[in-house]
Amino acid sequence: MKTYLRLLSFSRPYADFVPLYALYATLGIVFGIANFTLVIPLLNVLFGTTAAHVAGAPAAMPAFALSLTFIKQLFDFFFSRMLLLHGKQGTLAFVCGLIIVSVFLSNVFRYLGGRLLARVRARVVRNVRGALFGRITELELGYFSNERKGDLISHLTNDVQEVEISVVNTLTAVFKEPLNIVGIFVLLFSMSARLTLFSLVLLPVSGALLPAYRSACAATPPSARPPWAPCSR
């Protein structure tokens, strides 16, 4: 942990990029998740199963609120209006347009986040090379007689590049990945809490039982294996 904090110190000041990067990452994740959720009404229009959206649609535009319920009600409201006024083809065009806009905005915010990280990367390289240069100038002349020049050049190029990559990956892991995980779980629990909990319980259990099954299957002769339980390598 101390190593990561020391690496992150080369990207100071944090206030220049952390708020903007958190905003870009959050919006990119929100629109990225919306890309998958909009596939559901698209399939409903294609297969003629739009009753769920029409039945839950409010009669008037819902009041603004920062919640998933407001977004769902707002979408159902416009979805039912488009279905009533323009039919299935107009509703299909409406949903496809929303998907295109969502994909575009998701890529735009990802680009802005990557562009901001590129500026941070350049700052890290500048600070690390400045620190190395200051350290090298403080060394005695005998150090340069004993050390190879190629090792010094390697420290100034390859090692600085590794530090640069580590800082960028750390920033991504600290800000973007937790937000992505939280957003996905919020969406899953809003869709079906029981199914999400069942999956969270079933996956670790199946992952723990699978190695034991493979070991027992490998120890069983092929003639004694039942046909309904093949042993895969």
User: Would you say residue 25 has pLDDT above 80?
Assistant: yes
Q: Please report which confidence band the pLDDT of residue 32 belongs to, taking 50, 70 and 90 as the band edges.
A: confident
Poorest-pLDDT segment among 4-18, 77-91, 171-185, 191-205: 4-18
Burial 40-61 (b: 16+ CB within 10 A, else e): ebeebbeeeebeebeeebeeee
Instruction: Compare 59 and 80 and report the one with higher pLDDT.
Output: 80
Per-residue pLDDT tens over the stretch 81-105: 777 787 778 888 888 888 888 889 9
**Structural tokens at position 206:** 């199946």
For residue 1, what pLDDT is reported? 63
Measured CA to CA, the distance from residue 74 to residue 25 in angstroms comes to 24
Q: Please report which confidence band the pLDDT of residue 20 belongs to, taking 50, 70 and 90 as the band edges.
A: confident
Burial 101-121 (b: 16+ CB within 10 A, else e): ebeebbeebbebbeebbeebb
Pick the CATH number of 2-191 from 2.40.160.50, 3.20.20.70, 1.20.1560.10, 1.10.3720.10: 1.20.1560.10
CB contact at 8 A, 27 and 110: no
For residue 55, what pLDDT is reported? 65
For residue 108, what pLDDT is reported? 92
Q: Is the pTM of this model over 0.75?
A: no
Q: Where are the domains of the chain?
A: 2-191, 194-233
User: Would you say residue 169 has pLDDT above 60?
Assistant: yes
What is the pLDDT averaged over residues 155-161?
A: 75
Half-sphere exposure in the Cβ direction for 86 (13 Å, CA): 13
Q: Which of 49, 41, 39 is nearest to 75 (CA)?
A: 41
Burial 82-99 (b: 16+ CB within 10 A, else e): bbeeeeeeebbebbeebb
